Amino acid sequence: MKAKPRSAAGEERRYFKEVRFRQIRALFEISRHGSFAAAARSLGMATPSVWRQLRALEDDYGVRFVTAKGRSVRLTEDGERLMRLAAPLVEGFDSLRKLFLDLQSGAERVLRLAAPASVLNSPLRDVIAAYRHAQPSVRLTLIDAPSRVAWGMVESDAADLALVGAPSGVVLPSRLSVVPLASYPFEVIYPEGHALGKVRKIGLRDILAHPLILAGEDSSSRLQFDYVVAKAGLTSKVNVVMTAGNVPSILNYTGLGIGVAILTRSAVEAMSFPAVRQAGLAHRDASAVLGHDNLVLVHPKGRHELEHIRVFREMATAALKAGSGR
């Protein structure tokens, strides 16, 4: 007897009943973007299709993976648990084409590196020079970006690697592998003869008694400063007279007496201390109050790593760990 053709609706029910990779990917994109609509745009699908993919996955596992509040969606504990298992699979699959192309003869090799200017200009400069000499065929793209922006670029695949500060109180995205490299104390910088130079042991209230010149809000130093101040319950005491995205501007206006600056030692080293002294500035270690800026290398977790990217990662890790005395 001739089999009856399946109806379109029956095909759809059968299709969504089976757990497929695209259902896992739907949950992955929902976890990344926090909404069905944004996940649908990322996948190039209609929002109802993403919703059906998720519901089919939940029906198969017998649990709920997300909770919705308005237009935003969050993973449940079970959703987080599944994503920890599945994210490396999705990441690895996504990077498969890039790995294949890299193995082809004549394929162009590209390395996109994101880091704050202070990192590019000081601890990383010699590594970049050595890498260019060792890998002349790689098209190296350097991206000057504050720490929070830089690690976000790696998460969104706009950069391959990032060297960033990992401030206290901030958890980096779980999709990133984090390799500790070095640790730099925070410095307070002020004009010579300033009242802070006469304080025997600088406390947080001593610093907050003066107008402040700080780095941008996406920088690791600013994130760390804000965390320490908030933890001490002193946020209302902060008087920021200038926010600047680069070290020269910060030091320039500190020298004019506009305020005192908070920077990491690596940022000041990028300008060199002799230049700071010539500008009539003094600096003191403030790590007892503000802690350290912990420099880390971040790269995507679970992706196939291209050989020329691995080479740079290992060169940077070896050089910066050695420089930090570890």
Is the distance from CB of 276 to CB of 268 less than 8 angstroms? yes
pLDDT at 159 over 90: yes
pLDDT at 4 over 60: no
128 with 47, same domain: the answer is: no
Better-predicted residue by pLDDT, 81 or 143: 143
> Helices (H) and strands (E) in the chain — how many of each?
16, 11
pLDDT at 124 over 60: yes
pLDDT at 110 over 80: yes
pLDDT at 174 over 50: yes
pLDDT at 1 over 60: no
118 with 259, same domain: the answer is: no
- % residues pLDDT > 70 (the chain): 84
Q: Where are the alpha helices (DSSP H) in the chain?
A: 8-17, 21-33, 36-43, 47-61, 77-94, 96-103, 117-121, 125-134, 147-155, 204-208, 220-231, 247-255, 265-269, 273-278, 287-290, 307-323
Is the distance from CB of 304 to CB of 95 less than 8 angstroms? yes
**pLDDT score for 36:** 87
Task: For residue 1, tell me if it sits in a domain.
Answer: no
Average pLDDT, integer, range 26-54: 85
Task: For residue 134, tell me if it sits in a domain.
Answer: yes
Average pLDDT, integer, range 135-143: 93
The residue among 90, 108, 132 that closes a domain is 90
pLDDT at 226 over 90: yes
Q: Is the pTM of this model over 0.75?
A: no
Average pLDDT, integer, range 77-95: 79
**pLDDT score for 324:** 60
117 with 257, same domain: the answer is: no
Rounded Cα gap, residues 258 and 236, in angstroms: 20
Give the CATH number, domain containing residue 24.
1.10.10.10
Tens digits of per-residue pLDDT, 48-76?
888 888 888 888 888 899 888 777 888 89
Compute and round to an integer the Cα radius of gyration of the chain: 25
Tens digits of per-residue pLDDT, 258-294?
999 999 887 777 666 555 555 688 889 999 999 999 9
Single-letter code of the amino acid located at 149: V
- % residues pLDDT > 90 (the chain): 40
Reported confidence tier of residue 223, pLDDT bands at 50, 70, 90 = very high
**pLDDT score for 154:** 92
How many distinct structural domains can be found in the chain?
3
174 with 302, same domain: the answer is: yes
What is the span of the domain harbouring residue 314? 98-182+294-323
**pLDDT score for 3:** 47
Task: For residue 145, tell me if it sits in a domain.
Answer: yes
Hunting for tokens 């990032």 — which residue is that?
162
The residue among 37, 70, 90 that closes a domain is 90
Give the CATH number, domain containing residue 239.
3.40.190.10
276 with 143, same domain: the answer is: no
**pLDDT score for 282:** 87
**pLDDT score for 258:** 93
